[in-house]
């Protein structure tokens, strides 16, 4: 069987150094660090007092209040990045086969903010069970994929991947493989995380997994360095639109067409038997 070619036609992100692809790339080239003292809670008594937070994040800048209350922050980030990628790809939902368009989304932890908030409320109310009806839908890891697919009407494969730090990579790889095998024509894929709260930071501190270099947050992330002392916890989301190549060409995807000529995009993801793991695009 001949595997289909796959291309990236849309990008989106919200992260500690940029709320758009353009802002993120600009700050990345400048070497800007997203690490800074924690503002989401009082970290005075924690071993780690810094993290990579999305700065000045206000859900109502992106959602109405009622909608925001139905989503944990990790799902909010997912929706924001997915919207950017969807717009970047210039997709007309009515012009595609929505049964062949899906969402695969990764997260390592999911709705830990919601879980902690609901647990606190339970204890505060003398353990009387008055849980929010959105507690479980906000907490479960695959809900981000569900929200994205419902928004755009995608009825193809839809699920979440959970494999710790590789969750988003596995989401992208799964979407890639399903398109290559002809099971779908388009995916919104990627991942999001929002675990900067007392449980997230405290739990990783207990594992001795995150850096405690509180005197120098900006340079605390030191992978492969002899003085490394753990990773730096962060939050945010990144999204891709992956498409089968011929499908993208047929609909006139902007990243493939320039002045009526097909331009083979360097962001092509597919198999080339003459160069394993590479593509001649």
Token pair, residue 26, equals 């600009």
Per-residue pLDDT tens digits for 117-142 = 999 999 999 899 999 999 999 999 99
11-30 confidence digits (pLDDT tens): 999 999 999 999 999 999 99
pLDDT on residue 237: 98
Instruction: Looking at the chain, list the stretches that DSSP marks H as alpha helix, in order from N- to C-terminal side.
Output: 21-30, 65-68, 73-88, 112-124, 135-139, 143-152, 167-180, 198-206, 245-251
State the pLDDT confidence band at 272, using cuts at 50, 70 and 90.
very low
Bridge-based pairing of strands 6-14 and 235-244 is antiparallel
Is the pLDDT score of 195 beyond 50? Answer: yes
pLDDT confidence tier of residue 110, bands split at 50, 70 and 90: very high
Residue 268 has pLDDT above 70, yes or no: no
Please state, in angstroms and rounded to a whole number, the distance separating the CA atoms of residues 4 and 276. Answer: 15
Containing 123, the helix (H) or strand (E) segment is helix 112-124
pLDDT for the residue 251 = 92
Query: Which pLDDT score, from 0 to 100, does residue 115 have?
Result: 97
pLDDT digits (tens, 9 = 90+) for 199-244: 999 999 999 999 999 999 999 999 999 999 999 999 999 999 999 9
Contact 239, 11 (CB under 8 A): yes
Tell me if 105 sits within 8 A of 192, measured CB to CB. yes
pTM score > 0.85 for this model? Answer: yes
Q: For each of the domains in the chain, give its residue range(s) and CATH number, in order of start.
A: 6-255 (3.40.47.10)
Give the 3-state secondary structure of residue 18: strand
What is the C-alpha to C-alpha distance for residues 281 and 258, in angstroms, rounded to an integer? 15
Tens digits of residue pLDDT in 150-173: 999 999 999 999 999 999 999 999
Query: What does the pLDDT read at residue 260?
Result: 37
């Amino acid at each position: 069987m001949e595997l289909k070619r796959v291309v990236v036609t849309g990008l989106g992100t919200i992260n500690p150094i940029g709320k758009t692809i353009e802002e993120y790339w600009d700050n990345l080239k400048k070497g800007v660090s997203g690490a800074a003292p924690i503002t989401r809670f009082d970290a005075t008594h924690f071993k780690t007092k810094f993290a990579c937070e999305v700065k000045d994040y206000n859900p109502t800048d992106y959602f109405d209040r009622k909608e925001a209350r139905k989503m944990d922050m990790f799902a909010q980030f997912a929706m924001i990045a997915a919207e950017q990628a969807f717009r970047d790809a210039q997709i007309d939902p009515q012009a595609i086969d929505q049964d062949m368009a899906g969402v695969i989304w990764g997260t390592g932890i999911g709705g830990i903010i919601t879980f902690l908030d609901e647990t606190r409320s339970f204890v505060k109310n003398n353990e009387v069970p008055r849980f929010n009806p959105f507690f479980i839908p906000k907490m479960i890891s695959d809900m981000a994929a569900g929200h994205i697919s419902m928004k755009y009407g995608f009825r193809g494969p839809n699920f979440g991947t959970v494999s710790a730090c590789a969750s988003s990579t596995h989401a992208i790889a799964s979407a890639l493989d399903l398109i290559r095998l002809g099971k779908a024509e388009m995916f919104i894929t990627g991942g999001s995380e929002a675990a900067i709260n007392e449980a997230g930071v405290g739990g990783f501190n207990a594992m001795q997994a995150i850096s405690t270099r509180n005197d120098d947050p900006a340079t605390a992330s030191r992978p492969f360095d002899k003085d490394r002392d753990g990773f730096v916890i962060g939050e945010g989301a990144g999204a891709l639109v992956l498409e089968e190549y011929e499908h993208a060409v047929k609909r006139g995807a902007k990243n493939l067409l320039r002045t009526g000529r097909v331009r083979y995009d360097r962001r092509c993801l597919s198999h080339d038997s003459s160069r394993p793991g590479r593509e001649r695009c």
